[in-house]
Amino acid sequence: MSTPRLRSQGEAFLRHLADERQLSPHTVTAYRRDLADLEEFLTGYYGTPDWGWEHVDRLTLRSFLGWGRRKGLARRTLARKLSAARGFFRFLHRDGILDRNPARAMRAPRKEHRLPSHVRARGVEALFELAEARAAENSLKGRRALVALELLYGSGLRLGELHGLDLEELDLVGDQVKVRGKGRKDRIVPLTGAAVTAVRRYLPRRAETGAPPERGPLLVNQSGGRLSRRSIQRMVRELLESSGEEGGGGVHSLRHSFATHLLDAGADLMAVKELLGHASLSTTQIYTHTSKERLKKVYRDAHPRP
């Protein structure tokens, strides 16, 4: 259990992330978990809850990473926890609480180069055939599911972006939508014609829930409230599995598919970066690796000389 002083310093850092850096609530929650893990480790490492941040040095932080490895944490997770610690100690140093940042020169564990999962083009066809058939039944559930797919795959939205999307941010005449992305940065994303049609056909079912007709959350539950993230995830996963795409992943695999299929069709990498709302081009470039790996597999499987 951390002392009130340690808790107050941690809370000040989290407020800094939310108010000054304007990180999303989801990201701030992840930082909170990482700092809680660090405090738990340090209490055990020092053998007493009576310690201060000034006691922490590089050796201690290396031991923290070793503790995480023994718990079976992935390198990607360990890198994120070290990044959280580095930001926290930088904050304490900047505010004069510490005279040095012990995490400053530490290198993060090398991340595994995992290619993002995506749904094959034929799988996307089967997925939308199923969703359109269910939407034709004209229920709230069926119409809503098709809208979700059209925005996740058609516009490349993140789960959080779709969950937080409000009706007034859709421009069904100009075929575009304003999206609030990571870091609370807004971007304008095109809507496909199919997405516009799906939304127009969904709106009468949405109105039946008692939701405001021209404002409020786009995706609503039976009571007219905002549909939860978990419900969106469950809805998309069920559609993927029912269409035969069990290996296609979940909600995020549709965003990956959006990027991969655009690049496969010759789209400009910088344009895809802007559509996805990536801060760095290197983040978008992983999708070119996906295409290259698929080409290598086709080559290996089809070439007459192994």
CA distance 85 to 101: 10
- Does pLDDT of 246 surpass 60? no
Residue of 120, 182, 187, 226 marked catalytic: 182
* 182 belongs to the catalytic site: yes
Q: Decide if 62 is catalytic.
A: no
pTM for this structure? Answer: 0.61
pLDDT of residue 67: 93
Tallying the residues shown for the chain, one arrives at 306
- 125 with 249, same domain: the answer is yes
128-138 pLDDT tens trace? 999 999 999 99
In whole angstroms, give the CA distance from residue 223 to residue 230.
Answer: 16
Domain that holds residue 10: 4-94
Q: Is residue 29 a part of any domain in this protein?
A: yes
Q: If pLDDT is split at 50, 70 and 90, which confidence band does 1 have?
A: very low
* 141 in catalytic set: no
DSSP state of 17: I
pLDDT of 270 reads 83
Residue 130 and residue 246 in one domain: yes
Check which CATH number belongs to the domain holding 9 and give it. Answer: 1.10.150
Share of the chain above pLDDT 90, in %: 44
**Total structural domains in the chain?**
2
Active-site residue, 45 included: no
DSSP 47-104: TSS---GGG--HHHHHHHHHHHHHTT--HHHHHHHHHHHHHHHHHHHHTTS-SS-TTT
In percent, the amount of the chain with pLDDT more than 70 equals: 84
pLDDT at 146 over 70: yes
Q: Of 32, 90, 120, 158, which one is the catalytic site residue?
A: 158
Q: Under a CB-based contact definition with an 8 Å cutoff, are residues 32 and 23 in contact?
A: no
Q: Does the residue 303 lie in any domain?
A: no
Do 248 and 178 sit in the same domain of this protein?
Answer: yes
Residue 279, domain member (yes or no): no
Mean pLDDT in the chain? Answer: 85
- pLDDT class of 268 with cuts at 50, 70, 90: confident
Distance, in Å, from the CA atom of 208 to the CA atom of 65, rounded to the nearest integer, reads: 52
On the CB side of 121, CA atoms within 13 Å amount to: 8
Angle at 34 between CA 33 and CA 39, to 5 degrees: 95
Check 86, 255, 256, 273 and give the catalytic one: 255
Output 205 or 82, whichever has higher pLDDT: 205
Are 215 and 166 spatial neighbours (Cβ–Cβ below 8 Å)? yes
Domain presence at residue 301: no
Residues 180 and 234 in one domain: yes
